Structure 1
Amino acid sequence: MGSWNSISMEIIYQVLGWISIICWALASYPQVILNFRRKSSTVQRQYFDKYGYDQMIPVALSDVFFPFHSILLISVVSVQIVFFDRGNQKVSKTSIAIFVAVWFFAAACFFMALPTHSWLWLVSIFNSIQVFMTFIKYSPQAFLNFTRKSTVGFSIGNIVLDFTGGVGTLAQMSVQSIDQGSWVNFFGNIGKPLLALVSIGFDLIFFYQHFVLYHIKASRVSFQRDPESTEPLIKDSDHLQGIATTS
């Protein structure tokens, strides 16, 4: 296999490759964002009517990018659920019921807002749904860690990133409030700080579970596992119970 003769050329090659991939990946977002902005003038007017025309719109470009990115990832995960080998696992009836109920509620709210064009109210409802679903999303993992008395197989890296995002969101909104001399933006986009607070709250629970409550158990399981093995880290609840008993 041939190798690079010039390190600088290799670096340029890698940089140009990543630039092209990132540009292609983001190429569709500007048009989507522009369409959103052109259609959002009614919502902005309703916001100013409610909170005053001297207030700044508490929605950043990153806030527009985030839901589209989330929808993309959720779509990928949904495809994985359908096509990947699941063994005996299946989507619970509770999850299906919540999914149907939330979409039915969102559709009902949309048709309620349609005659009066109450888009600001509808956005607030969607924000509330997002906060509710975030609470639903985190709760099973916290409960599972508690029942297993272990965080083995649970990536704490995701929680570190999530916690950083939540703190960054509150800091971002605080910067805007300090600059404007008003805290109205927290109430005008109440779903954003609530989402951050819910995420931070659960992240703190996960940190406590991983680094304090079950840290020793996780270390012992990792130590006892053969690094060459391809077997699951914990095969069943009986094995886990045995570890908990010996500790």
Structure 2
Amino acid sequence: MERIEDFAMKSLLLLTLVTFVQSISFCNFTLSSDSLLLELREDHGVDLEVTCFNETDEYNTILEFLIQNKDIVNVEPPILLVDPVNSTHQFFIEAASAGHTEVVISTVDSAIKFKPLCLIVNVFKHHYLDILSKVFGWIYILSWGASYYPQIYLNYKRKSVVGLNFDFVALNIVGYCMYGIFILSVFFVDEIQDEYFHRHPRGLIPVKVNDVVYNIHGISALVVTVIQCFVYEKGNQVVTMFGRITLALIFLFSFIIVILAGSNVIEWLDFLYYCSYNKVIITALKYIPQAYMNFKRKSTQGWSIGLVLLQLSGGIFSVLQMILDSYNYNDWVSIFGNPTKFLAGMLN
């Protein structure tokens, strides 16, 4: 008798569960685009494709748009009535003011199960300023990138690195590597970008593709220079005590912040900022040994003036690009989002 009652109870629970599952519509929602770049007062249509499973004709559902920064974009219509039948719906995003925002699409209907969608929208004031920013970006990349070739060519032509200060070379490559940790992590790691937007919800990611190209190319050019220092005549040149102490302090600081980030004392975004600050410190210090060496020798032979001129022009256009973007996207906080790029440009 007990077995019969137990079987009946389990059957009733199973029937209830099946009925509940059948009452829920499992849907897949897909956006035609997950990010938009709009000019002020421009509007853009976005398609929402709906594919439902366990379809039922008993009800429709309402989708709502949750706008992170409501002054930046408007959504029309403000809500979408979605049929339970597979279909495509369209809504429009209108750019109301410059900046960055996210639009989350969700529903309060418990009978519809789907993962909320997120649409990222960046709005700029003027299209020509956006183009000019890209031009400035590639000018500074080409200037800073090309700045190493006059020195590499001079070393090759002389078959000597006498006159090129080894402290400058050592500090430079370490600075690029430290900055590379920041650049590549912010550009490629989604979790780091989430941390950044949590702190700066109205901001843009402060790293662009030309920053990535610049860093990787710079490290490659410096590796060639280091190889030249081993291969060509170098006289009695070595990394001085100043350079060794500076590098030791930088590595010690980096080791400490890795421990702090791994122990959750600081966030990983802070760790990356601290790594990038090493680049700023190195940029401020790396020219001192070379300038002192030139003064002591009363000569700049072996040191390419082309490197100096190209780094100067690169620094100017780097700062101009950041100022232009900050104005065009109404996002002055992005200068502080990537303070290393701004300060390195000013120091150069």
TM over 0.5: yes
Could you list the per-position Cα deviations for residues 62-118 of structure 1 after superposition, in whole angstroms to 9, with x for gaps in the alignment?
A: 112222222222222222223333222222233223223212221221221123271
Distance between the aligned counterparts of 1:143 and 1:73, measured in 2? 24
**Residue 24 (structure 1) aligns with:** none
**Residue 316 (structure 2) aligns with:** 167
**Residue 106 (structure 1) aligns with:** 254
Which range is displaced more, 70-79 or 41-50? 70-79
What is the TM-score when the length of structure 1 is the normalising length? 0.59
For the aligned residue pairs, the C-alpha RMSD in angstroms reads 2.3
Could you list the per-position Cα deviations for residues 109-159 of structure 1 after superposition, in whole angstroms to 9, with x for gaps in the alignment?
A: 122112327121011111110011111211123333444555455422211
Distance between the aligned counterparts of 1:108 and 1:127, measured in 2? 15
Identical aligned residues as a percent: 30
Could you list the per-position Cα deviations for residues 17-72 of structure 1 after superposition, in whole angstroms to 9, with x for gaps in the alignment?
A: xxxxxxxxxxxxxxxxxx85785112111111212x22111111111222222222
Distance between the aligned counterparts of 1:102 and 1:194, measured in 2? 18
Give 2:309's aligned amino acid.
Answer: V
What is the TM-score when the length of structure 2 is the normalising length? 0.43
Question: Which structure 2 residue ranges, 5 or more long, are not aligned?
Answer: 1-183
Which range is displaced more, 161-170 or 147-156? 147-156
**Residue 186 (structure 1) aligns with:** 335
Could you list the per-position Cα deviations for residues 150-193 of structure 1 after superposition, in whole angstroms to 9, with x for gaps in the alignment?
A: 54554222111111110111111112111112311111111111
1:1-247 to structure 2, matched below 5 A, reads 39-51=188-200, 53-116=201-264, 118-148=267-297, 151=300, 153-199=302-348
Change (3 A) 1:37 1:101: closer
Give 1:105's aligned amino acid.
Answer: F
Change (3 A) 1:79 1:110: same
Distance between the aligned counterparts of 2:207 and 2:294, measured in 1? 35
Distance between the aligned counterparts of 1:49 and 1:141, measured in 2? 42
Shift of residue 194, structure 1, vs aligned partner:
0.5
Distance between the aligned counterparts of 1:102 and 1:170, measured in 2? 26
Distance between the aligned counterparts of 1:163 and 1:77, measured in 2? 20
Distance between the aligned counterparts of 2:245 and 2:330, measured in 1? 44
Alignment size in residue pairs: 164
**Residue 100 (structure 2) aligns with:** none
Distance between the aligned counterparts of 2:342 and 2:301, measured in 1? 31
Distance between the aligned counterparts of 2:294 and 2:187, measured in 1? 45
Which range is displaced more, 83-92 or 186-195? 83-92
Distance between the aligned counterparts of 1:149 and 1:89, measured in 2? 16
Distance between the aligned counterparts of 2:306 and 2:189, measured in 1? 36
Could you list the per-position Cα deviations for residues 199-240 of structure 1 after superposition, in whole angstroms to 9, with x for gaps in the alignment?
A: 1xxxxxxxxxxxxxxxxxxxxxxxxxxxxxxxxxxxxxxxxx
Residue pair 2:319, 2:342 contacting (<8 A) in 1 also? yes
Distance between the aligned counterparts of 1:153 and 1:83, measured in 2? 15
Residue pair 1:55, 1:184 contacting (<8 A) in 2 also? yes
Residue aligned with 2:235, SS: coil
Distance between the aligned counterparts of 1:164 and 1:68, measured in 2? 20
Residue pair 1:42, 1:119 contacting (<8 A) in 2 also? no
Distance between the aligned counterparts of 2:214 and 2:313, measured in 1? 15
Residue aligned with 2:237, SS: coil
Residue pair 1:170, 1:193 contacting (<8 A) in 2 also? yes
Distance between the aligned counterparts of 2:217 and 2:326, measured in 1? 26
Give 2:236's aligned amino acid.
Answer: N
